Amino acid sequence: MSHSPPRHRALARTACQFCLALILAGCSTWHAPAQTDIEAPRDRAVSETSHGVRTSAAVLGSEDSMRMFGADVSKSGVQPLWVEVQNGTSQPLWLLRAGTDPDYYSPHEVAWSLHSMLGGTTNASIDQYFGKLGFRNPIPPGETRTGVLFTNPDHELKLANFDLLGNQTLIPFSLLLQVPGGKMDPNLAQIPFPYPESVAPNYQDLASLRAALEHLPCCATDASGTVQADPLNAVGIGQLTDIGAALVRRNFRRDEHPFDQAQRLFGRAPDFVMRKEAQGGAPATWIRGWLAPMRFQGQLVYVAQVGRPVGGRFLPRGESHQILHENVDEARNLLIQDLMYSGGLEKLGFVNGVGPVSESHQRSTAGGAAYYTDGLRAVLFFATRPLSLSDVEFLDWVPYLEAPPVRQYGGAGNARQ
């Protein structure tokens, strides 16, 4: 009579234990909360009213999640929003989820993350429960609708867009929401670095604004202030919520890395860093912005670096040292196109900024990168959406298409990209 070797018996025991674990997981119980407590998020919700519609929202934390869903969905990388819309108009309205988060999660996606193998009826109950909690369209005239949107996570503070669509009508809201556990006060975030009026002139005409923008530094510096860092190739002008809303609608999110802090302007690190959400956490285009010591007709003026890392989205995930790609104009131009589609871009112009740098004589930065550029700084004016592509006004400043070429092609002359 033959006997199985000890190694085979050990493997058999492991396989049995694994199967038992699957069976137990399938039998694990999930129970819908006896009562969905919506009062707690309502108590701390941020609200705004416009055109007869009142929209309220709050970010749900882990405790809210356990109470409302019977599980902490934040462990799956999901940040739920409690949303309430009171429709005081005479027509039905639809909340456009993609305006809040272009990569939002459907309720059934989140429900699936809680499924267990061989869960059977329990999994079906989870699906049904999450389906009922999700925000449902439309919102009938004169009625109130409450529900949950499942979004990608933000930290400290979340700028949430809510676009309500009616017949030839769009009623937009942009709300700054406190993230549970975050320390940033939404009221303080309106002006992240306030300047005294004595050092922040308020320009009233485009000519004086253009002159001021062309006198801004060409680049950031290192911490010592003596070595040039990345070029400043963009300016954003508008209210903070309008600028933020346009970026969020094109999938830019607050995402600051330690190496971003090495860039200094006006004596400080960036006031904000946003990155365009890439697939699977891959590195993506970044925007580092600083509030400038000036206003235009009372609106904020931000000067920014727009760039992307060498390798782009093919750079290994989690790479701690990202080097600026040499073609900074490409990143700048992609941002312009993104924001044109955001519905919040009102005007676009170009001013002289960094100065032309040819590909054959690239300029080095403090971070060890090199770049070339046409030398222009894009100036983007934002307004409250909705605007269409045909609404964008092009300012007659530096004619972009006639700008000096910077690339060389086989000695046959210069050409624009």
The CATH code of the domain that includes 128 is: 2.60.40
Q: Rounded to the nearest 5 degrees, what angle is found at the Cα of 172, between the Cα atoms of 169 and 175?
A: 165
Quick check: 223 and 212 in contact, CB under 8 A? no
- β-pairing, 272-276 vs 252-254, is antiparallel
Find the domain containing 395 and state its range: 191-415
Amino acid at 132: K
118 in a structural domain: yes
pLDDT (average), residues 163-189: 83
| Cα dihedral 91/96/100/104 (nearest 10) | 150
Both 159 and 233 in one domain: the answer is no
Percentage of residues of the chain with pLDDT beyond 90: 65
- How far apart are the C-alpha atoms of 155 and 178, rounded to whole Å? 9
386 domain-assigned = yes
Rounded-to-integer distance, Cα 243 and Cα 253, Å = 12
Domain boundary among 178, 204, 225: 178
Q: With 90 as the cut, is the pLDDT of residue 185 above it?
A: no
- Among 178, 208, 237, which residue terminates a domain? 178
| pLDDT tens-digit map of 101-152 | 988 999 999 999 999 887 788 899 999 999 999 999 999 999 999 999 999 9
8 Å CB contact between 371 and 389 = no
Residue 298 backbone class (left: φ over 0; alpha: ψ -120 to 50; beta: rest)? left
Sole residue written with tokens 């100065």: 355
CB 242 within 8 A of CB 382: yes
**Are 114 and 208 within one domain?**
no
Query: What is the pLDDT, as a whole number, of residue 385?
Result: 86
pLDDT score, position 417: 41
| 195 shares a domain with 126 | no
The dihedral region occupied by 131, where left means phi > 0, alpha psi between -120 and 50, and beta the remainder, is alpha
Total domains present in the chain? 2
Domain closes at, from 153, 178, 203: 178
Name the band, by pLDDT with cuts 50, 70 and 90, for residue 409: very low
Residue 359 lies in a domain: yes
Judge if 65 and 167 occupy the same domain. Answer: yes
246 shares a domain with 201: yes
Say if CB 93 and CB 50 are below 8 A apart: no
Residues 245 and 362: their CA atoms lie apart, in Å, by: 35
Mean per-residue pLDDT, 158-176: 94
Per-residue model confidence (pLDDT) at position 198: 83
Same domain, 345 and 297: yes
Tens of pLDDT, residue by residue over 239-269, are 988 999 999 999 898 888 888 999 999 999 9
151 and 247 in a single domain? The answer is no
Tell me what pLDDT residue 16 has: 55
Dist CA 22 CA 14 (whole Å) = 12
Q: Quick one: pLDDT at residue 26?
A: 42
Q: Which helix (H) or strand (E) is 8 found in, with range?
A: helix 6-27
Task: Determine whether 187 is exposed, middle or buried from the number of CB atoms within 10 Å of its CB (0-12, 13-18, 19+).
Answer: exposed
Determine the pLDDT at residue 410.
37
Q: How does pLDDT run across 276-317, given as a tens digit for each residue?
A: 876 666 668 899 999 999 999 999 999 999 999 988 777 776
Secondary structure (DSSP) of 220-279: EE-TTSSSEEEE--EEEEE-HHHHHHHHHHTTEEE---GGGGG-BBTTB--SEEEEE--G
In angstroms, the CA 333 to CA 380 distance is 12
199 is a domain residue: yes
Residue that the structure tokens 């409302």 belong to: 68
Kindly state the tokens that stand for 120.
């059977």
Cis peptide bond upstream of 309, omega within 30: no
Residue 244 lies in a domain: yes
Task: Answer yes or no: is 1 within a domain.
Answer: no
Q: Return d(Cα 271, Cα 410) in angstroms, integer.
A: 42
Q: Average model confidence (pLDDT) for the chain? A: 86
Q: Are residues 145 and 208 in the same domain?
A: no
Same domain, 365 and 303: yes
Q: What confidence score (pLDDT) does residue 337 get? A: 94
The verdict on 241 and 124 lying in the same domain is no
CA-derived radius of gyration, the chain = 26
- The pLDDT tens digits of the residues spanning 10-20 come to 555 655 555 54
In a domain, 18, yes or no: no
Quick one: tokens of 311? Answer: 């390798």
Which is more confidently placed, 46 or 21? Answer: 46
**DSSP string over 357-369:** B-GGGPEE-TTS-
Same domain (yes/no): 156, 197? no
Has residue 33 been placed in a domain? no
Q: Mark whether 206 and 163 lie in a shared domain.
A: no
